[in-house]
Amino acid sequence: MVAPPPITNTIRRLRFDHGEMTQQQLADRIGVTRQTVAAIEQNKYSPSLEAAFRIAEVFGVEIGQVFQWTKSGS
Amino acid sequence: MSMREKVAWISTLTALVIFGYYFWSVLSDFGQRQLDGDVLFWRFIWCLGIAVAIMLPASLLAAWIGKQQFDPPPDEMEQAIERRSYRAGFGVLEVSLIAIILLSGWIAEMARADYPVDAAGATSVIMVNLLLFAMALAGVLREIQIIVAYRRYA
C-alpha cells in the first residue's frame, strides 16, 4: 500500500464555506473529474501545481490555505 | 465511477471471456495435435469481431446510463493512471516477447516431433498464437492495473 503524501488539505471545509459546493461543481471549475477531486480531498492523490493553484483560485484564497505540508525535518 | 474505469471493466471482462475461450480452444487443439492455422485464424477474427461488438455497445450504454461523455479527455490523475498502467503493460509485453524468442528453438523441436508433415507451419501457428497471447495478457494486465488504480483512489 502506497503511503499517503505528507500533505493535508482543507478542501472539504472550503467547499462547505462556499455554499456547500459539491465535488462535481469544484471539478467542473478546475477542469478535472469528480473522482479526481474526491481523491485530492481524501489525500489519496497529490494534484499538480497548476490544479492546486486553480483550486485556491476557485475559493479565493492563497494556496497555503488549501494545502499544508505536514512532514517536518525533511 | 468514471467512464475510463467503466471502459476498463468492460474491456477486462470481455477480453477474459472471449479471448479466454480463444486461447483455451488453441490449447485444446494443441493437446489433440490438431493445430490448423486457417481454422485458428478465422476463429480469432470471429472472437475479435465479437469482442468489438460487445465492448463498443456496452461502453456506449454505460456512458448513456451514467449520463457521461463516451470518450472524455483524461484529466491529470487519469493521465497518471494511464501512464503507469501502459508502462506496466509494455513491460509485460517486453518480457513475454523475450520469453517467446528464447522458447522458439524448443517450439520448433516440438513441432518437428508432433507435426512431422508440416513442422514449419505448426511452428509458425504456435509462435503467432504465443505472440497473440502475450499481447492479450499485456492488454488485460494493463486494464486490471487501471481498475486497481481507480479503486485505490476511490
Arithmetic mean of pLDDT over chain B: 91
Looking at the DSSP assignment, which residues form a beta bridge with residue B147?
Answer: none
Is B33 near chain A, with CB under 8 Å? no
Domain range holding A38?
A: 7-69
Give the 3-state secondary structure percentages of chain A, helix then strand then coil, rounded to 5: 50, 10, 40
Domain count, chain B: 1
Task: Give the tens place of pLDDT for each residue, B17-44.
Answer: 999 999 999 999 888 888 888 899 999 9
End-to-end CA distance of chain B: 8
Domain count, chain A: 1
B98 pLDDT higher than 70: yes
Instruction: Name which of A2, A36, A38 is nearest B75 (Cβ-Cβ).
Output: A36
Indicate whether A1 belongs to any domain.
no
Is B21 near chain A, with CB under 8 Å? no
Task: Give the tens place of pLDDT for each residue, A39-68.
Answer: 999 988 899 999 999 999 999 999 999 999
Is A53 near chain B, with CB under 8 Å? no
Indicate whether A17 belongs to any domain.
yes
Scored b (16 or more CB within 10 A) or e, B52-70 reads eebbeebbeebbeeeebee
- In chain B, the percentage of residues whose pLDDT exceeds 90 is 73
Indicate whether A2 belongs to any domain.
no
Domain range holding B110?
A: 3-153
> What average pLDDT does this structure show over B130-146?
95
CATH number (domain holding residue A24) = 1.10.260.40
Residue A73 confidence class, pLDDT cut points 50, 70, 90: very low
> What average pLDDT does this structure show over B51-67?
92
B135 pLDDT higher than 60: yes
Contact state of A44 with B2 under an 8 Å Cβ cutoff: no
Return d(Cα A8, Cα B120) in angstroms, integer: 63
> What average pLDDT does this structure show over B60-66?
90
Lookup result for grid cell 483524461: B74
Give the angle B75-B145-B99 at the CA atoms, nearest 5°: 130
